[in-house]
Amino acid sequence: MSIAFWCMLISALLIYVARMPVAKAMQEQGGYNNHLPRQQQAQLTGFGARAVAAHQNSFEAFMLFAVGVLMAHVTQTQGWLIDTLAIVFVIARVIYLLCYWADLAWQRSLIWFIGLMCSLLLMTSPAFRSLLA
């Protein structure tokens, strides 16, 4: 399995890592409501609300990243840049979660932008395939 595919797996797992603080915040709100969890999540404030937003953003970011990795793969675009973009994306997403949970707004936005650029560069990588070999 390629480095980019490993990064895609890690990125998928990060979606659920981002969910862990949500469950903790819900538990602290009088117990986890498994009958209406989304309704309970909508009532969270502070850290809990930020954790929900980070979890939701993880889904959004994963879709673009996965498309970028798959576009590079199906076009047989390989090389150091593909691997580097995938690794930087995963690192950015970990830092992004930490910034979101810590309420570091501008830092989070900067890190989000870095992750977005990695995804977009992966998506456009077939256009400059000859430079990557």
**The pLDDT value given to residue 131:** 66
The one-digit pLDDT tens for each residue of the chain (133 residues) are: 899 999 999 999 999 999 999 988 888 888 887 888 888 888 888 999 899 999 999 999 999 999 999 999 999 888 888 999 999 999 999 999 999 999 999 999 999 999 999 999 999 998 887 665 5
76: left (phi over 0), alpha (psi -120 to 50) or beta: left
Where along the chain do its domains lie? 3-17+54-131
Instruction: Give the pLDDT score at 133.
Output: 58
Q: Residues 32, 23: contact at Cβ < 8 Å? A: yes
Output DSSP code: residue 6. Answer: H
The residue behind tokens 């900067």 is 110
> 103-119 b/e with 16+ CB inside 10 Å = b?
eeeeebeebbeebbebb
pLDDT at 38: 87
Q: What is the pLDDT of residue 16?
A: 95
127 vs 133: CA distance, rounded Å: 13
Each residue's pLDDT tens digit, 112-131: 999 999 999 999 998 887 66
